[in-house]
């Protein structure tokens, strides 16, 4: 009786602990999602990069010697005229400028508040300087777009605001703002070294507009043909990058539609061989062991594994690792070093998800050896390749459509992607390789092992297969803690769940996951490359 009483007390204490951790996990998820909702999906640097590429490519219109390039560009812009493109670009830049000024004002208030004592003064000062430089750079470009839309006085006011912002500590962007203001003022004011300064701080379409005005004001019309020649080279590069950026969703979506058409034809005419075919009860009884994994544990074990893993994940990412990095002074150095930033993505991610393995080992220890088929990772037979690649193409049109609907529904709210600056700003290949390692190797392995390898088949003991696939996909999306990603990632998780369930090999969903993350990664590389 004493032994049984102790066991009961132990179980009660364990249940109480898991209940408390579950409540804390739910609260953390709710607060994090609320924070992401309050963080708008503003026009980010990513959007501006694509805007700049399109502006760069507008220089081809009506002047292209290569009609193919002109045709390709028309595919991207549709029926839009140059003035409409300028207006759209101006709207994007003004949104970013407004958000950047708001962030700078928040940093100013923070630096003057008692809370500033919690921050290292040098780090806070660097952050303010970086944000101020960003505001100045965006302002210069915004002014040139205002010029193209006919708002010369608005452009001059925008450039004057840069001088007011920088004051005595004028940067190269502040000097460029003065030069541009002089060029479009009445009468024109010319500054020494204006050409060098414009070439240093502007590129692409913006540099061409500014230099054209400078050469006209200096009566150096012989330099304009050189500008046109350089613009043609840049146009070709811009269109090539636009092709790469859009080819992934375009080709992937097109192949994906063909895959779905093929699946529909197979369902209509060859239903028994369709991956969506549900066998009759007799067939199901004969192939029970082949189609379903035996689940020896109950709901309590599922609850235990998921809650303990998420608790370990939160503790590592929110407490342990930040304290370690703060103690070592790594965060301060990371603000200027993209390699350190990339390492601060790879290392924390790996350390925060790797506790999943000992948690699974401990929770499932009493069920060892596990029934055949659990956590199966087998290279042979190679059908997993077909499932992974086919699942990837099938997921592209689904997730793209769902993403568009989700963005409309959320009306621009829901958070953004913290990895974008490393991918778009860094010109060093090492940080990009480290990020790719995180996204295409670590994430597919750990996330598929947990959500498809353990959670999905465990839930299938209590739910219909499609219910288990959908619910595991939702938990997969929820674990990313970003409101804007929940619906698209749930869709992707459902496809990965179905691919794993039919292939019975984790390599298939891992491959799909790797292809998805790699496709997004290389599109961003093309967008941010110089």
Written as one string, the DSSP assignment of 101-119 is HHHHHHHHHHHTSGGGGGS
The sign of the dihedral angle between the CA atoms of 139, 141, 145, 151 is positive
484-500 confidence digits (pLDDT tens): 788 899 999 999 999 99
- Indicate the burial class of 272 (C-beta count within 10 angstroms; 0-12, 13-18, 19 or more): exposed
pLDDT at 54 (0 to 100): 72
pLDDT at 285 (0 to 100): 41
pLDDT at 159 (0 to 100): 92
DSSP at 280: P
138-190 confidence digits (pLDDT tens): 999 999 999 989 899 999 999 999 888 887 778 888 899 999 999 999 888 88
pLDDT at 306 (0 to 100): 92
List of the chain residues with pLDDT < 50: 1, 40, 42-43, 62, 64-65, 281-290, 332
What b/e readout covers 131-165, taking b as 16+ CB neighbours within 10 angstroms?
bbebbbbbbbbbbbbbbbbeeeebbbebbebbeeb
- Indicate the burial class of 425 (C-beta count within 10 angstroms; 0-12, 13-18, 19 or more): middle
Sequence length of the chain is 530
């Amino acid at each position: 009786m004493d032994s049984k009483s102790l066991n009961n007390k132990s179980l009660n204490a364990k249940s109480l602990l898991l209940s408390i951790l579950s409540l804390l996990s739910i609260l953390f998820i709710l607060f994090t999602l609320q924070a992401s909702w309050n963080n708008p999906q503003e026009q980010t640097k990513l959007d501006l990069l694509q805007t700049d590429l399109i502006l760069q490519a507008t220089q081809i219109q009506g002047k292209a010697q290569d009609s193919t390039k002109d045709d390709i560009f028309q595919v991207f812009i549709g029926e839009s005229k140059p003035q409409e493109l300028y207006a759209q670009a101006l709207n994007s830049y003004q949104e970013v400028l407004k958000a950047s000024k708001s962030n700078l004002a928040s940093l100013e208030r923070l630096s003057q508040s008692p809370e500033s004592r919690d921050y290292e003064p040098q780090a806070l000062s660097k952050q303010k300087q970086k944000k101020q430089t960003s505001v100045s750079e965006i302002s210069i470009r915004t002014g040139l777009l205002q010029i193209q839309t006919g708002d010369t006085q608005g452009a001059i006011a925008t450039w004057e605001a840069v001088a007011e912002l920088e004051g005595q500590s004028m940067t190269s962007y502040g000097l460029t703002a003065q030069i541009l203001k002089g060029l479009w003022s009445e009468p024109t004011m010319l500054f020494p070294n204006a050409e060098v300064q414009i070439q240093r701080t502007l590129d692409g379409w913006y540099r061409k507009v500014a230099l054209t005005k400078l050469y006209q004001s200096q009566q150096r019309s012989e330099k304009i043909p050189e500008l046109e020649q350089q613009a043609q080279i840049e146009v070709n590069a811009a269109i090539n990058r636009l092709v790469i950026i859009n080819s992934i969703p375009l080709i992937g979506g097109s192949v994906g539609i063909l895959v779905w058409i093929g699946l529909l034809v197979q369902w209509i005419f060859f239903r028994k061989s369709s991956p969506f075919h549900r066998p009759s009860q007799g067939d199901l009884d004969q192939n029970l062991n082949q189609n379903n994994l035996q689940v020896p544990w109950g709901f309590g074990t599922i609850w235990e594994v998921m809650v303990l893993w998420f608790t370990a994940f939160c503790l590592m990412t929110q407490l342990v690792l930040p304290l370690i990095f703060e103690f070592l002074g790594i965060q301060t150095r990371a603000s200027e070093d993209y390699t350190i930033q990339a390492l601060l993505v790879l290392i924390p991610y790996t350390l925060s998800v790797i506790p999943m393995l000992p948690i699974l080992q401990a929770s499932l220890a009493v069920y060892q050896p596990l029934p055949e088929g659990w956590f199966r990772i087998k290279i042979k037979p190679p059908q997993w390749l077909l499932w992974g690649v086919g699942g990837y193409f099938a997921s592209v049109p689904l997730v793209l459509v769902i993403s568009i609907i989700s963005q409309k529904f959320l009306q621009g709210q829901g958070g953004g992607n913290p990895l974008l600056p490393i991918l778009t700003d860094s010109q060093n290949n090492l940080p990009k390789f480290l990020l790719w390692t995180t996204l295409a190797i670590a994430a597919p392995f750990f996330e598929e092992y947990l959500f498809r390898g353990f959670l999905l088949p465990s839930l299938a003991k209590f739910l219909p297969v499609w219910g288990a696939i959908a619910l595991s996909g939702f938990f997969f999306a929820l674990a990313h803690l970003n409101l804007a990603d929940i619906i698209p990632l749930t869709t992707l998780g459902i496809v990965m769940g179905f691919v794993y369930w039919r292939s019975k090999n984790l390599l298939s969903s891992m491959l799909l996951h790797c292809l998805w993350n790699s496709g997004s990664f290389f599109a961003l590389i093309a967008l941010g490359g110089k």
